[in-house]
Amino acid sequence: MTGRSLLAAALICGSLFAHADPKAEFIDHWQQQGLSQAYIEQALDQATFNQGILDAIQKPWEAKPWYQYYPLFLTEERLDAGLAFWQEHRATLERAEQELGVEPEIVVAIIGVETYYGRHLGRHAVLDALYTLGFYYPPRQTFFRKELGHYLQLAEEQGWSLTEIKGSYAGAMGLGQFIPSSYQAYAVDFDGDGKRDLLTNPTDAIGSVANYFAKHRWQHGAIAAEPVTVAADAPIKPVLWDGRPLKHDAAALSAQGVAVPQGRDGKLSLLQLEVAEGQWGHFLAHPNFYTITRYNRSPLYAMAVWEFSQQLKQAMADG
């Protein structure tokens, strides 16, 4: 190979591997989104790898069976705290329902399950969490690297110190635990003070959770899930929910041995949850159930939120 050929080959290889460094790719991409190179490099220099983050994401609560999962959230103490939060913020919750069409009990349930009304806002630096998952957790590195970029944008917009904001091991923040891209897209200034503060402002948090649900097609007054019976040895696998938008109707479910209550129309699906060791319960999922899973994709999470919301609603009605 001639010297000129060697040079050409070197240039080609250099072009192919110019962006092999994931941090260089990250810097280049987010510069194109409007952040300065110096700001991005400063953020990466300040970020710290955290092994505890990797350990936590590989042992999520949602990996538990239903009968072990729901007692973590459906407690008398959390119910009492939720009722107190509802009473304190009744006017704001009513306004959110009027303006956005999301019932108070759903908003109160979300904030209760996510952070116990601000008691558990998260102990991890969001910068470290997203950096660790974005660069050291291959199964979901693309998602978390993107969230890291959104966090840098958000911190610049909000005037936050990059290292001081705390959240969950997955980088979720505030009373409603919004990830950075959701914060940017769905947070609202619900008290009109010129700021979208989900970290310390319950009014903004209430409005933002309601806005999130409204934007994800929450149907006011409709249920999310209900128990149903299934015939013994029924071939239910084709109608079990697969995480995607609901696609079956009552006739299709009935044909598979599901006792669908009268009057249930629209798109539906079937959930199967382990209600005791080795024992399975079945639930009919409605479109509102799918909406809850846009907040957290776990069916266990969605069921816990729905059940908790109904406990709250009943307790408020009982006075």
Q: List, by residue number, the catalytic residues.
A: 114
C-alpha 130/C-alpha 127 separation (Å) is 6
- Name all contacts of 203-207 with Cβ < 8 Å and 24+ positions apart: 203/89, 203/92, 205/111, 205/174, 205/175, 205/176, 206/89, 206/92, 206/93, 206/96, 206/107, 206/111, 207/92, 207/96, 207/100
Query: Measuring CA to CA, how many Å separate 219 from each of 154, 172, 199, 250, 292?
Result: 30, 25, 27, 19, 11
C-alpha 67/C-alpha 234 separation (Å) is 23
* Residue 138 neighbours by CB distance under 10 Å: 8
Q: CA angle, 110 as apex, 178 and 195 as ends, to 5°? A: 45
- Residue 227's H or E segment, with its range, is strand 225-228
* Best CA proximity match to 216, nearest among 186, 187, 173, 250: 186
- The answer to whether the CB of 294 falls within 8 A of the CB of 282 is no
- Max Cα–Cα distance, the chain, nearest Å: 89
* Best CA proximity match to 270, nearest among 256, 262, 306, 279: 256
